[in-house]
Amino acid sequence: MSEQNAQKHSFQAEVAQLLHLVTHSLYSNPEIFLRELISNASDACDKLRFEGINHPEYYENDPNLHVRVSIDKEHKTLTISDNGIGLSQQEAIDNLGTIAKSGTKDFMSKLTGDQKSDAQLIGQFGVGFYSGFIAADKITVESRRAGLAESEGVRWISGGTGEFEVEQITKASRGTDIILHLRDDALGYLEAYKVKQIINKYSDHISLPIEMQKEVWQEEEVAEGEEPQGGQYVKTDEWEAINSASALWTRNKNEVTEEQYIEFYKNLSHDFEAPLAWAHNRVEGSTEYTQLLYIPSKAPSNIFTREAKAGIKLYVKRVFIMDDADNLIPNYLRFVQGVVDSADLPLNVSRELLQESRDVKTIREGNARRILNLLDGLAKSEDEAEQEKFKTFYAEFGSVLKEGLGEDQGNRERILKLLRFASSVNDDVTTSLADYKARMKEGQKAIYYVTADSLNAAKNSPQLELFKKKGIEVLLMSDRVDEWAMEFVNEFDGLVMQNVAKGAVDLGDLQDAEEKKALEEAAEQFKPVVEKLSEALKAKTKEVRVTTRLVDSPACLVTGEGELSPQLVRMLKQAGQPVPESKPILEINPEHPLVQKLAGAEQFDDLANVIFDQALIAEGGLPEDPTAYIKRINSLLLK
Encode pLDDT of 223-259 as tens digits: 666 766 666 667 777 899 998 777 889 889 999 999 9
The residue among 627 and 355 whose pLDDT is bigger is 627
pLDDT of residue 152: 96
Residue 318 CA to residue 329 CA, distance in Å, equals 19
pLDDT band at 27 (very low <50, low <70, confident <90, very high): low
List of domains in the chain: 3-217+228-241 (3.30.565.10), 248-390 (3.30.230.80), 420-509 (3.40.50.11260), 510-638 (1.20.120.790)
pLDDT at 3 over 70: no
The reply to whether 126 sits in an annotated binding site is yes
176, amino acid identity: T
The reply to whether 302 sits in an annotated binding site is no
* Cβ partners under 8 Å of residue 120, min gap 6: 271, 272, 273, 298
The reply to whether 95 sits in an annotated binding site is yes
587, amino acid identity: E
Q: What is the mean pLDDT of residues 457-469?
A: 89
The residue among 563 and 325 whose pLDDT is bigger is 325
pLDDT band at 112 (very low <50, low <70, confident <90, very high): low
pLDDT band at 508 (very low <50, low <70, confident <90, very high): low
pLDDT of residue 21: 64
The reply to whether 36 sits in an annotated binding site is yes
pLDDT at 408 over 60: yes
Terminal C-alpha separation, the chain: 91
Report residue 300 CA to chain centroid gap: 4
Cα-Cα-Cα-Cα dihedral sign, residues 182, 185, 188, 194:
negative
pLDDT at 126 over 50: no
Q: What is the mean pLDDT of residues 437-446?
A: 90
The reply to whether 429 sits in an annotated binding site is no
What value does the mean pLDDT of the chain take? 85
The reply to whether 393 sits in an annotated binding site is no
The reply to whether 225 sits in an annotated binding site is no
The reply to whether 281 sits in an annotated binding site is no
pLDDT band at 409 (very low <50, low <70, confident <90, very high): very high
pLDDT at 16 over 90: no
pLDDT of residue 100: 41
pLDDT of residue 120: 46
pLDDT at 400 over 90: yes
Q: What is the mean pLDDT of residues 289-299?
A: 95
The reply to whether 103 sits in an annotated binding site is yes
The reply to whether 351 sits in an annotated binding site is yes
Within 13 Å, how many C-alpha atoms sit on residue 397's CB side? 24
Residue 90 CA to residue 166 CA, distance in Å, equals 10
215 — phi, psi (to 5°)?
Answer: -110, 135
The reply to whether 23 sits in an annotated binding site is no
pLDDT at 4 over 50: no
CB 459 within 8 A of CB 424: yes
pLDDT at 285 over 80: yes
pLDDT band at 477 (very low <50, low <70, confident <90, very high): very high
The residue among 72 and 19 whose pLDDT is bigger is 72
The reply to whether 316 sits in an annotated binding site is no
Residue 388 CA to residue 475 CA, distance in Å, equals 22
Q: What is the mean pLDDT of residues 300-329?
A: 81
Q: What is the mean pLDDT of residues 589-593?
A: 89
Cα-Cα-Cα-Cα dihedral sign, residues 51, 54, 58, 61:
positive
pLDDT at 102 over 50: no
pLDDT of residue 344: 87
pLDDT of residue 28: 56
How far apart, in Å, are the Cα atoms of 511 and each of 491, 507, 549, 588?
A: 21, 5, 11, 18
Q: What is the mean pLDDT of residues 454-481?
A: 90
pLDDT at 78 over 90: yes
Residue 345 CA to residue 348 CA, distance in Å, equals 8
pLDDT of residue 416: 96
pLDDT of residue 278: 97
pLDDT of residue 602: 83
Percent of the chain topping pLDDT 90: 41
Q: Find the range with the poorest average confidence among 376-380, 432-436, 581-585.
A: 581-585
pLDDT band at 71 (very low <50, low <70, confident <90, very high): very high
The reply to whether 40 sits in an annotated binding site is yes
The reply to whether 115 sits in an annotated binding site is no
pLDDT at 376 over 50: yes
The residue among 559 and 495 whose pLDDT is bigger is 495
What global pTM score does this model have?
A: 0.71
Q: Find the range with the poorest average confidence among 146-155, 273-282, 590-599.
A: 590-599
Q: What is the mean pLDDT of residues 612-623?
A: 87
Residue 545 CA to residue 563 CA, distance in Å, equals 18
Percent of the chain topping pLDDT 70: 87
CB 143 within 8 A of CB 154: yes
The reply to whether 120 sits in an annotated binding site is no
E strand map for 183-220? 210-218
pLDDT band at 103 (very low <50, low <70, confident <90, very high): very low
The residue among 10 and 26 whose pLDDT is bigger is 10
Q: Find the range with the poorest average confidence among 114-128, 206-220, 492-506.
A: 114-128
Residue 381 CA to residue 277 CA, distance in Å, equals 13
pLDDT of residue 60: 94
